[in-house]
Structure 1
Amino acid sequence: MNGTSAGSYPIDVWGLIITIVLVAVAAGLSYAMRLGVHRQMLWATIRSLIQLLAMGYILKFVIEQNNPWLVFALIAVMILAAVQITMSRAANIPRSVMPSVLLTLTASVILQVCVVTEMIVRPHPWYAPTVLATLSGMLLGNVVSAIAVAMSRFFSDMDARRYEIEMMLSLGATPFEAAKPSIISSVKLGMIPTISQLASSGIVLIPGMMAGQVIAGADPLTAAKYQFVVLAVISALTLMADSLIMILIYKTSFTALHQYRPSNER
């Protein structure tokens, strides 16, 4: 088997151990320099290893079964977990926005399945778990980060602009007009990592999907096409998700009489 054959570079137990040792050395450096991130880094590394290995076994089972109901059940569980992660990451947001988060994430996944999976990739069968589950996971990861940042920024910015908002409302502005500056700044902030990754891919950065395919022996040009489709569509859907969540939640900052509602009253 030559060096470019698929599966010719397997990662064994020793590879995982060396990786963990490297993280431990970095954490030790953080501890020695009193940077204060060693515990979080070690915990995140262990949690990531357990979660990824568990997902690997689950995906293997779902792929072997090749059952559409199992595929969509897995995606549903991923969406519910994404809702919980979003709520935990976003700071100082009311619990009442959880249904809006669920709706936003579900709509994003449905669009991804309809557009990317069925119109661009066109797998056989149409519910191919290797495509649906993996693409849904990548999309949810990006959307969760973006809307968590956007929501945190929105509510903090609204509180910071309280007197300005109340003045605008008193002068006849609608709640949307009063909230619009906060909506714009929140969406922009949430989109910064996604747009930066899209812009730097191929020159500064070889993204994980493309790198993984090339290492596994896939044609680099084919890997580049797949990576472009994934990054571009995820960027578009993330922007749509950011915009949708803002439309769904901005009214929580106002009463039925169009008066501003402070964060401690939401």
Structure 2
Amino acid sequence: MSGNAYDIDVWGLVVAMAMVAVAAGVSEIMRMGIGRSLLWSACRALLQLCAMGFVVGFVIRADNPWFVFATIGVMLLAAVQIVLSRAKGVPKGLAGPVLLSLTITMLLMIALVTELVVRPHPWYAPQLVVPLTGMLLGNTVSALAVGLSRFYESMDERRDEIDTLLALGATAWEAARPSIVSSIRLGLLPTMATLASCGIVTIPGMMAGQVIAGGDPVEAGKYQFVVFAAIAALTLVADSLIMAMTYRTCFTADDQFRPRDMRGVR
């Protein structure tokens, strides 16, 4: 134990992995077919989290803004890859728009939180900026993947309706708007559900972590609210931006609907 925080030793990690192994064993007994994937995912998560812990520790000790920016850059590139791997039915060539939307919205939200809300010294405080970036990206990546998948699925489902709207003189944006709205709403649902239940049904991760580490529960609650507010804003803005940049992939230069097989779907 260090200060008011309780450290986890090697045996604690072994017990945690044993719990996952038991769950995987139950899966194999019941022939669910997910036991090995569960174990592999748990091992990979442990290695990734420990590696990130070393990286964040190094960046904090170095206290250099360039290391902070480099870490954020790597996280952004990884986020783009995860979005494109999770999104289904999307065309090729979306890496640029996804990276641009994430970069613009992330920098905007980080600047607002650090300069107007927390106001740390120095302004690039690694112990704040790097974890905050990770939390924001983690939620936004899922929302973007769900939103993109839903958009292209909805456009294919509405093909006859879209053709009719275009024939009646609607613009490509007007024809695509219902699909854009439904995809943004779907991407926001998890964030809205979390906002509605936090503090009553659940104690969110960041707040729980600060309390376990010995922090003041009220301050931890304030930080958690700031994070949730930033996530909600970031998700909505990032989803809207990526839709504005990609909806034209469903139309030709003459504003005709482009079927799935003509979009170069991955």
Q: TM-score, normalised by structure 1?
A: 0.96
Matches of 1:100 and 1:40, distance apart in 2: 31
Aligned to 2:249: 252
| Partner in structure 1 of residue 4 of structure 2 | 6
Query: Which residue of the other structure, out of 191, 201, 206, is the alignment partner of 2:203?
Result: 206
- Are the equivalent residues in 2 in contact too, given 1:209–1:227 (CA < 8 A)? yes
**CA-CA distance at 1:42 after TM superposition:** 1.4
C-alpha RMSD over aligned residues: 1.2
Structure 1 residue 40: Cα displacement: 2.2
Find the residue that maps to 1:95 and give its secondary structure.
coil
Aligned counterparts of 1:40 and 1:250: Cα–Cα separation in 2: 35
Task: State which of 64, 68, 72 in structure 1 corresponds to 2:65.
Answer: 68
> What code does the residue aligned with 1:108 have?
T
Work out the number of aligned pairs and report it.
Answer: 263
Deviation at 1:235, TM superposition (A): 1.0
Paired amino acid for 1:63: I
Structure 2 match to 1:121: 118
Query: For 1:30-50, what per-residue CA distance to the aligned partner results, in whole angstroms no more than 9, with x for missing partners?
Result: 111122222221121111111
What is aligned with 2:33? 36
Structure 1 residues without counterparts, runs of 5 or longer: none
Q: CA deviation at 1:256?
A: 0.7
Is the CA contact 1:79–1:106 (under 8 Å) kept in the aligned structure 2? Answer: yes
- Tell me which residue corresponds to 1:51: 48
Match of 1:135 among 126, 132, 137: 132
| Whole-angstrom CA distance in 1 between matches of 2:172 and 2:41 | 40
- Residue 236 of structure 1 deviates from its aligned partner by 1.3
Once the 2 structures are TM-superposed, how far is the Cα of residue 88 of structure 1 from its aligned partner? 0.4
**1:231 equivalenced with 2:233 (yes/no):** no
- Tell me the SS of whatever aligns to 1:96: coil
Structure 1 counterpart of 2:258, one-letter code = R
Aligned to 2:214: 217
Q: Is the 8 Å Cα contact of residues 112 and 136 (structure 1) preserved in structure 2?
A: no
Q: Is the 8 A contact 1:201 1:207 kept in 2?
A: yes
Q: Which amino acid aligns with 1:47?
A: R
SS of the counterpart of 2:109?
helix
2:165 paired with 1:168: yes
**Could you tell me how far apart the structure 2 residues matched to 1:39 and 1:176 are?**
45
Distance in 2 between residues matched to 1:132 and 1:249, nearest whole Å: 29
Which residue does 2:14 correspond to in 1?
17
Q: Give the CA deviation at 1:239.
A: 1.0
Partner amino acid, structure 2, of 1:38? G
- Aligned twin of 1:106: 103
Cα separation, 2, equivalents of 1:37 and 1:236: 35
Shift of 1:11: 0.6
Quote the offset at 1:261 in angstroms: 0.6
